[in-house]
Amino acid sequence: MSPMNVDLHSHSTVSDGWLDPRALVQRAAVNGVDLMALTDHDEVGGIDVAAEAAAEMGVGLVPGVEISVSFAGETVHIVGLGIDHRCPTLVDALAELRAGRDARAQRMSDELARCGIAGAYEGARRFARNPELVSRAHFARHLVASGVMPDVKTVFDHYLARGKPGFVAHQWAALVDAVSWIRAAGGIAVVAHPARYRLSGADMARLFDEFIAAGGEAVEVVSGAHTADEMRRFATVARQRGLLASRASDFHGEKESTVDIGRCNPLPADLTPVWSRLI
Ligand code: AMP
Ligand code: MN
Ligand code: MN
Ligand code: MN
């Protein structure tokens, strides 16, 4: 029997994915995914539709979320897996977190206007299917569509990454709060794509110290955002810290993601998969 194809990180149009929840599940089914998680940014509004589609298509659906956190001057993402997406503690906290996004988007637009790019707020909103969830990805898509930059990655490199002119510092959730909301909803907290954070060695160690102290249990070892070396680095972290390991494409869409849903490398065999707790 072939091993289960598990992918526990993906996005729909409910945040900044290109496919609506049903189409995303359909793509996972076509790609042979047995178990997937929908993990939209700060939002669980797609889970009911995804679960219904998944049941029809014979795909296992783990209700999830990807929470934006501010830690040591960096934005860190904490994925929650196996959550009760109706848990009031979680639902209310996410609504509050989303409420800051609109003013942030307007400030980003103001910064871009200073660089000679007018109308970015309206442009980004046209790409956002969920008006409560305008992300930098929507700004990037607008700048590409309007011919300012050739592709999304170049937009981030020039305008939207930390330190670039269109970047606006924002206060997201505290790490302990994000983990506690996930736990209140009965879920497992996972450090998403750890190699992407620009943290010093000491801050990275403290991230895991505080994450574990708060009740966090897993880390994305295999990620669409990780190189093979980065995968090995965080496999070591998982072993040393006794964390469960996740396998996660972080699929947003065909044009933007290097790894398709369900097409990540396998986890190193000695690690305990986080899905051992989800099936
Ligand atoms: P936000 O939550 O508004 O800060 O937007 C974060 C999202 O922007 C991420 O989830 C990705 O979808 C996208 N993103 C961030 N950095 C990059 C990058 N360097 N290249 C492409 N997309 C990126
Ligand atoms: Mn995203
Ligand atoms: Mn992320
Ligand atoms: Mn993601």
- Which atom of ligand 1 is the closest one to the Cα of 16? 12
Ligand 1: residues with CB < 6 A are 16, 41, 68, 135-137, 152-153, 156, 161, 252
Under the banding of pLDDT at 50, 70 and 90, the label for residue 2 is confident
Average pLDDT of the chain, as a whole number: 98
Under the banding of pLDDT at 50, 70 and 90, the label for residue 143 is very high
Is pLDDT at 217 greater than 80 in this prediction? yes
- Which atom of ligand 1 is the closest one to the Cα of 66? 10
Is pLDDT at 188 greater than 80 in this prediction? yes
Structure tokens at 112: 């871009």
The per-residue b/e assignment along 46-81, b for 16 or more CB within 10 angstroms, e otherwise, is bbebbbebbeeeebbbbbbbbbbbbbbebebbbbbb
User: 1.10.150.650, 3.40.47.10, 1.10.10.1200, 3.40.50.2000: which CATH number matches 101-160?
Assistant: 1.10.150.650
Is 0.95 surpassed by the pTM of this model? yes
**Separation CA 2–CA 11 (nearest Å):** 26
Check whether domain 6-98+187-277 has CATH 3.40.920.10, yes or no: no
Where along the chain do the CATH 3.20.20.140 domains lie? 6-98+187-277
pLDDT at position 1: 66
Pocket test for ligand 1, best of 11, 14, 16 (most atoms within 8 A of CB): 16
**Separation CA 63–CA 91 (nearest Å):** 13
Rounded distance from Cα 136 to ligand 1 centre (Å) = 6
Where along the chain do the CATH 1.10.150.650 domains lie? 101-160
